[in-house]
Structure 1
Amino acid sequence: MAHRINGGARMMNYTPLKETCEALEVACNNEQDWETIEQLVECVLEDMVRFNKWLAEKS
């Protein structure tokens, strides 16, 4: 899921969400502990809210 969100963030050139998704992908690929992954998921969700606000401002 993070990979697909990352692709959308890249297409829209929204760096904060892109970077957070990349960090989550790396954490999952490196089999980080669940606490780290859960924190990154929360960060992705927060960045998605900011991304939606950013999109609304652009239109």
Structure 2
Amino acid sequence: MKNNLAAEQCRRFADDYKAKAREPGISPKRSRILTNIARSFSALASQLEILAIDEAARL
């Protein structure tokens, strides 16, 4: 199974959203939302890595 979204891409997205969450002048609510999105991308990256390990073990 080929993943269209790679774990490394998700980690880069997470880093980008973390940086946006720390930008000066944004509201606390927006910061929380951006931080939650970053966490979601990090979790997705972890799941994609686990899936890749599982797929490799099947070969």
Do Structure 1 and Structure 2 share a fold, with TM-score over 0.5? Answer: yes
Give the structure-2-normalised TM-score: 0.59
- Structure 2: any 5+ residue segments left out of the alignment? 1-5, 54-59
**What percentage of residue pairs aligned between the two structures are identical?**
4
Amino acid at match of 1:53: Q
* Bigger radius of gyration: 2
TM-score (norm 1): 0.59
- Is the CA contact 2:8–2:45 (under 8 Å) kept in the aligned structure 1? yes
Structure with greater helix percent = 1
Q: Which runs of 4+ in 1 moved over 4 A?
A: none
Residue 20 of structure 1 contacts residue 40 of structure 1 at CA under 8 Å; is this kept in 2?
no
Candidates 11, 19, 31, aligned match of 1:17: 11
Q: Which has the higher contact order (CA 8 A, sep 6+)?
A: 2
